[in-house]
Amino acid sequence: MSTPVVAEEQRDTIEQVCAELGITADAYTIAKPAPFGGRHDGWHVTLKRGTLTLETDFWQGTAHREFKRFVNAWALPKSSEGWRKVTEARDLPHHVKRPTVHDMEVTWFRPIPPKASDVLGCLVADAGHVDNGESFEDFCSMLDLDTDSRKAEQSYNACQRIALQLRGFLGEHYDRAKNAEY
């Protein structure tokens, strides 16, 4: 006699949560450096759900860019469409050929706006660090941070603010988003 196979309960994905709740994102680029350092493209994002909105700054790595190469000056893209000229080789992803001194081609890039699910997933993850009433000391222990750090305290306070904003934005759907796969 064989043992019956019990199907594992399927968890929603954060994309499903956004789709079913009608969450959308509007974003525009910002010239503010990421508070955690590194090379990132900054965005000011407004998440919308019906009449509710949640605004936040959001950063994505340079892999979230579209690249084009141009030989003819007349075919260059318009900066009004978000295109920027690559001025440093480190702005190029690993799969794009590195230009040489003799190249006539010019590479341009345009940051790709974040999706609502990406922003919501990151916010839910940040809120999760303080969601169960963790103390500042527990927060630092969980993330291997120094309890005598002002930066750690600022991160803790930011996570608390995010958790409150998300609860207001998602309402009764907060736990569903929190438990969704991202």
Say if CB 108 and CB 83 are below 8 A apart. Answer: yes
Q: Which domain holds residue 74?
A: 65-111
Number of domains in the chain: 2
Phi and psi torsions of 8, nearest 5°: -70, 140
Q: Which amino acid is at 147?
A: T
Both 124 and 151 in one domain: the answer is yes
Residue 53 is assigned to a structural domain of this protein: yes
| CA-closest candidate to residue 59, choices 31, 23, 90 | 31
Query: pTM of the prediction?
Result: 0.80
171 and 91 fall within a common domain: no
The string of pLDDT tens digits covering residues 26-80 is 999 998 888 877 888 899 999 999 999 999 999 998 888 888 776 655 566 666 6
